[in-house]
Amino acid sequence: MNNRARTPLIIAISLIIGIVLGYYIIPSKESKATFVSSSKTALAQKFAYIMDLIEDDYVDEIDFDSISDNFILSFLQQLDPHSTYLTTSQFKTEQESLDGGFEGIGVQYRIIDDTIAVIQPVKGGPSQKAGIMAGDRIVTINDTLWAGKKIDNNDVMQLLKGKKGSKVKLGIKRQGIGKLIAFEVRRDIIPTYSVDYFGMIDSKTGYIRLSQFSQTTSEEVNRALNDLLRRGMKQLVFDLRGNGGGYLEQAYKVADEFLPAGDLIVYTQGRKRDRNDFFATRGGMFEKGKLIILIDELSASASEIVSGAMQDNDRAMIIGRRTFGKGLVQEQKLLPDGSAVRITVSRYHTPSGRSIQRPYISGNPDQYFEDFINRYATMSKGDKDTIAHPDSLKFKTKKGRFVYGGGGIEPDIELPYYNYKKSEFYTQVLRKGLLYKYCFDYVDKHRNIFKKYSDGDDYMQNFNVEQGLYESMIEYAIKNGVKEEIPKGKEKAEIMLLMKAYIAQSLYEDKYYYSIFLKLDDDLQKAIPYFGYIN
């Protein structure tokens, strides 16, 4: 047997096959390949034998580390589209998001003209305590120049994140000050939130926007519900658009807040997993009020569990576009190097018995995602989503309404992807980020004029974008290559509102941005009148 240490790829292959097949295989190398009779053991030995051959005899030097991750990922994708492999760094990043926090300096930032611009320091976070302000530019990090370099979001995150208690030196450029200001920031735990925004749309209508189902989601939703109920909420829009899912337990807990005790929320079942039912318990915070759930083509997994449970129990009106259709349940296994594999073990089913998972062909993950992209492109043209409704996919809700399987959750009310076609000017200033950049720069250069507003509420009530500011933005856009086409009427009014929202975001908390942006949210504005049809 070869005395050299086995390469990472051989170890990885042995480990992954051991996990999938249930045991760990030590590869051996002989002059002639011989395998034991067990088909699973023979397969593991065959892979190990081939890797040894490549290591010893292949014509070129091979960097096994660089190809091992791709090999494992490809191996798992032959099973189904959602069995997957996460490298150590990918796993760490995803867990930080789902666990509700990460270690860093605590700033919201945006890369503008190859410079890291601070949008807002996190309230109570390390950067705010150190004295960093909205509008500051981070020019140097640990005495290395980073302004003017081609950097992306991942680069910045790697530079600013770090172990709690560690320090980072920042050189800050601040408007009106000639030289860099030196800061030393001690990193800490920075909370992340899954509830992007909650508030009252009118005197009786509450709104909650949920971006994912993380470890803290049910607590965040409970706080939002408590606050909205205290403010007189009688009906709620629960927005799950773009929510790609997360923890099953959190989806169950959130759904439990809307359903009476005993209602089935979801069940899972697989070849090696018995059926497991999840029922609502007592004491949900919003079991009686009117409920609308907004969904779209990017709502997936845990979002589909919640919306499917509400639909099958006739608890809410589901409005929007058919969801993604991710109904496979993965179990996660950690590997010794900090990476992880996720293997599909069962399927999600709504209370009526519908499988959430849309069809796929094992071994062809590309086709699975191409089908989604084609469907998305069709909707983007304004066409309605279509899906076959054979009798075999017909199910009944608690009150006897027909709903259909076949993948994803179909809404009770389908909304078109676009309401009206925007002008080329409007499209370009948004797509190129020029509207945001203009507003950010305007705030940066004129912060003094906003000091007359005591807080965000005062700003919201008393500030409006005047014609001169609007025309200045138009000139800026034209100078930056946007076709000269002055928006009028409804488009002009929308752009002026968006300018007010972006300025609010640069000056105050995100909640002020959302409170304006929701007025321009086509799906939301179309959905609200449907409360009148809910008994």
Which positions are annotated as active-site residues? 301, 312, 326
**Can you tell me the distance from the alpha carbon of 31 to that of 12, in angstroms, rounded to the nearest whole number?**
23
Q: Report the C-alpha dihedral over residues 228, 459, 440, 471, rounded to 10 degrees.
A: 120
Orientation of helix 424-431 relative to helix 489-507, angle to 10°: 20
**Can you tell me the distance from the alpha carbon of 362 to that of 348, in angstroms, rounded to the nearest whole number?**
18
Q: Considering just the CA atoms, what is the radius of gyration of the chain in Å? A: 27
**Can you tell me the distance from the alpha carbon of 82 to that of 70, in angstroms, rounded to the nearest whole number?**
15
Phi, psi of 26 (to 5 degrees): -95, 115
**Can you tell me the distance from the alpha carbon of 38 to that of 380, in angstroms, rounded to the nearest whole number?**
51
Residue 367: partners with Cβ closer than 8 Å, 6 or more residues away: 360, 361
At residue 100, what is the residue type? G
Phi, psi of 114 (to 5 degrees): 60, 30
Cα 417–chain centre separation = 20
At residue 453, what is the residue type? Y
What is each CA distance from 515 to 130, 198, 206, in whole angstroms? Answer: 30, 9, 12
Question: Which secondary-structure segment (H or E) carries 110?
Answer: strand 107-112
Q: What is the 3-state secondary structure (H, E, C) of 499-525?
A: HHHHHHHHHCCHHHHHHHHHHHCHHHH
Largest Cα–Cα distance in the chain?
Answer: 84
Cα 361–chain centre separation = 26
Residues 202 and 227 sit within 8 Å (Cβ to Cβ):
no
- Per the document, the length of the chain is 535
